[in-house]
Structure formats: C-alpha cells, structure tokens
C-alpha cells in the first residue's frame, strides 16, 4: 500500500513546490542518541537538546519550509510506503532503534511483513514517482548519493541509487557521492546512464564531507537555482528524458574536512567491515559510523551541515521550478 499525506497531495495537485526527504539518514545514517563531548562542538544548524537524528529532521524540515516549499519525508511505516510523514511518525521512526533501511530490492519484503524502515535514495526516488501519476515530486534533497564503491574490480558493489537515478525525472540535490566511493567511476557511470551532473557554484564534483581538489571529476557549473530549474525543464519537458538531474552542492566550507585525511581511516573501516562478514546492506552505515568515531565527530558535523544546506538549496530549486512551470 502507498499512502500520500493530504498536505503533499494537495500541494502537488496545485503545483506548489514540494521537496522529498529520505529517511534512511534518520534510521541508519546518524546517531540516535544525544550529542556528546566526544563529537566536539555541536554544529549550530541543529538543536543539541534533542537526539541527533531528531534534531536533524527538524532542522531539514525548517530549511525547506523557509524557502516556501512543502517538506515530504518518506518512509515505510508499518508496511505502508508513506509519502509525507507527520511529526509523530518522524519522531517514532527516529526513536525506534530496531528500524533500519530499505532499498529497491528489499522494500517489497518490508511492506509484506508490515515493517517500518527508512528509505534510501533509490526508494525515495521510487516514492517521488508514486506521489502522483500526473504531478510527481520533482525535487529531492539528500546528503550524498550511493554509487560505485572503492575496489569495485575486486568486489563489485554498485548502489541501486544509480538505477533509480537513471529512471526517475527528479532533481536530486546532494553533496556528490559518499566519501567511501570511487568518485571518478561514479561520475562516469552517471554520464553513461544519462544523468546531467551539475555543480552549484563549482565545476568539480563534490567529495561529500571533504574539500574538493583539482583532481576531482569535472562537472557543469551553474550559479543559481533558477538555472538548475531551467536545465531540468529542458531535460524532462523539451527532450522528454526520464532520468534525474543531479545538482551537486559542496559541503559548507566551515565544516569541510581536509582532503586526504580520511583515506587511511576509510581503508581500515572497509577492511574491518569485510572481516566482520556482515550483509552488504550494512557496509555504508558501518563505515560511516567508523568515520564518525575515528574523526572525533568531524565527519558527523560535516554531514549534518551539508544535509541542512542541501535542504535549503533544494527548497529554492523547488520554488524556482514552480515559478517556471
């Protein structure tokens, strides 16, 4: 069963700007406890008096609303793909320590079993299409997309996010791909599947929580959200293409981690994960959790700042799209 909230349904029918938000970051991507001193200073974008994932959810919601758009958190709730969560549903999802995440290959089982789960980029894009047959959700904000993992020649690990990006006409706002991925291989794959990759204020593909360097893949630079909206319209309406447009946004400079400082940490986290013999779905949350611990919270703070900033940019893009539609 798929359920669209009245607020989101009415907004789509009336051509109002809507921003989809993925809930896997709340259930599997961020700590569910309170901020503590081991993480360093709490970033100003979240409320330190709340559990970290709850505070992030509230901050992202507020950023979207401030730009004049409707936030649409998406998750599987008791077996129902729910598009547009209530505050109570968000809080319950954040508090439940047993809830994980689902992607395209596992969402049907979760729905069949009446489970609750956070949605990844891929399953959130699926929900964007199902939100309305005639007016789907056209803008989606996340932290970083999945892509092609490091050492893919030895162990093929390609995210289902790429499959969804190839087949969903939604503008995805992200700070590039997660730091644990092979950025060059991921950008090559994006080109192969026909996803325009734009750099908002940059001509280099962002490296998620890390600073960019001249060695990073080149992307097409845009300097306004209206420009992004115009490219989206040309891609979908003029050319009739059905793939996503990826609008990449660099992590805010004050939170960016110095490039190169994570490579050894990532290598060790990846090795530890392999040795743990856990299922493939645990790879990303395991490594991200290890990064937060080994960087004394620097990676976590950068992640929170880029999530809030991306939500702001996504709200602006959604508003721009609504104006030119």
CA distance 215 to 173: 22
pLDDT of residue 118: 97
pLDDT tens sequence across 37-94: 878 889 999 999 999 999 999 999 999 999 999 999 999 999 999 999 999 999 999 9
Q: What is the mean predicted confidence (pLDDT) over 248-269? A: 81
Residue 220 has pLDDT above 90, yes or no: yes
Q: Which has more confidence, 182 or 235?
A: 235
150 to each of 33, 189, 285, how far by Cα in Å? 30, 14, 15
Domain assignment of residue 245, given as a range: 2-324
Query: In angstroms, how far is CA 8 from the centroid of its own chain?
Result: 19
Burial class (CB in 10 A: 0-12, 13-18, 19+), 187: buried
CA distance 156 to 150: 9
Residue 263 has pLDDT above 90, yes or no: no
The CATH number assigned to the domain holding 91 equals: 3.40.1790.10
- pLDDT > 70 fraction of the chain, expressed in percent and rounded: 95
Structurally, how many domains does the chain consist of?
1
> Active-site positions?
22, 178
Separation of first and last alpha carbons in the chain: 30
pLDDT of residue 284: 65
pLDDT tens sequence across 94-148: 999 889 999 999 999 999 999 999 999 999 999 999 999 999 999 999 999 998 8
User: Residue-wise over 250-283: b if at least 16 C-beta within 10 A, else e?
Assistant: bbbeebbbeeeebeebbeebbeebeeeeeeebeb
CA distance 269 to 97: 22
User: Quick one: pLDDT band at residue 155, thresholds 50, 70, 90?
Assistant: low
The tokens describing 79, both together, are 């077996």
Residue 152 has pLDDT above 80, yes or no: no
The tokens describing 251, both together, are 């992590």
């Amino acid at each position: 069963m798929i359920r669209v909230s009245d607020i989101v349904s009415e907004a789509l029918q009336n051509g109002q700007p809507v921003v989809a938000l993925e809930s896997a970051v709340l259930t599997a991507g961020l700590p569910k406890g309170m901020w503590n001193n081991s993480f360093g200073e709490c970033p100003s974008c979240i409320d330190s008096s709340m559990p970290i994932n709850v505070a992030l959810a509230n901050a992202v919601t507020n950023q979207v609303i401030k730009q004049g758009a409707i936030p649409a958190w998406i998750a599987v709730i008791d077996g129902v793909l729910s598009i547009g969560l209530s505050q109570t549903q968000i809080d319950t999802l954040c508090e439940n320590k047993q809830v994980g995440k689902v992607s395209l290959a596992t969402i049907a089982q979760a729905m069949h079993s009446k489970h609750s789960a956070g949605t990844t980029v891929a399953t959130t894009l699926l929900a964007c299409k199902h939100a309305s047959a005639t007016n789907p959700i056209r803008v989606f904000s996340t932290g970083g997309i999945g892509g092609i993992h490091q050492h893919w020649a030895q162990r093929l690990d390609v995210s289902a996010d790429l499959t969804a990006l190839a087949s969903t006409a939604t503008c995805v706002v992200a700070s590039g791909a997660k730091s644990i991925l092979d950025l060059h291989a991921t950008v090559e794959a994006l080109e192969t599947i026909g996803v325009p990759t734009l750099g908002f204020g940059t001509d280099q593909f962002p490296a998620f929580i890390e600073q960019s360097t001249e060695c990073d893949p080149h992307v097409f630079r845009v300097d306004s959200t209206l420009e992004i909206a115009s490219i989206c319209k040309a891609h979908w309406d003029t050319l009739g293409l059905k793939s996503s447009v990826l609008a990449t946004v660099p992590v805010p400079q004050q939170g960016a981690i110095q490039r190169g400082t994570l490579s050894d940490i990532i290598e060790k986290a990846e090795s530890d994960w392999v040795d743990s013999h856990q299922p493939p779905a645990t790879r990303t949350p395991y490594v991200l959790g290890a990064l937060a611990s080994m960087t004394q919270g620097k990676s976590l703070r950068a992640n929170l700042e880029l999530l809030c900033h991306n939500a702001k940019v996504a709200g602006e893009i959604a508003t721009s799209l609504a104006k030119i539609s």
